[in-house]
Amino acid sequence: MDDRIEFIIRNDTMIEHFGMRVEEAHEGYARVSATVMEEFLNQHGVAHGALIFAVADVAFAIAVNAAIDAMGVQWSFNILRAAKQGELITAECTTIHKGSRLLVVEYTVHSDSGKLIAKGQATALPVENTARM
């Protein structure tokens, strides 16, 4: 992984707090996973939507910021089925548009059994770098 990606991983505290693993990352693409642990369950005993979204959002942040400093401004996120305790969920994010004024990505979240958990799209706007790399 390049220096920009290493910087993102070191400085995004959500990755550590949620026990996420960045499996692959390069400009325009990221794959991030996390295990559904007991502390991430909702009142129904399945993964809280916030965990599922967080894994997808971290993949989004890495995919777009690997190329240019950008901030997410819009998300479309659909959870299609529940993830259970002990399951490994993996988000894959791919940039589908990289313009001078916005970047658009598509992402999916799958369970370790291959089932589609969530799917969505997000938009980021380029910003000036506010952190030192």
CATH number for the domain spanning 79: value is 3.10.129.10
Mean pLDDT of the chain: 95
133 domain-assigned: no
133 pLDDT higher than 90: no
Neighbours of 50 (CB within 10 A): 12
Let me know if residue 132 belongs to a domain.
no
Single-letter code of the amino acid located at 4? R
Is 89 in a helix, a strand, or coil? Answer: strand
Q: Which residues contact 5 (CB under 8 A, 6 or more apart)?
A: 22, 25, 26, 62, 66
Structural domain for 46, as ranges: 3-126
0.75 exceeded by the pTM?
A: yes
Does residue 22 carry a pLDDT above 80? yes
Residue 131 lies in a domain: no
Structure confidence by residue, pLDDT tens digits, 36-95: 999 999 999 999 999 999 999 999 999 999 989 999 999 999 999 999 999 999 999 999
In a domain, 84, yes or no: yes
Asked whether the predicted pLDDT for residue 130 surpasses 90, the reply is no
Say how many domains are in the chain: 1
Query: For residue 87, what are its two tokens?
Result: 């399951």
Distance CA 103, CA 74 (A): 11
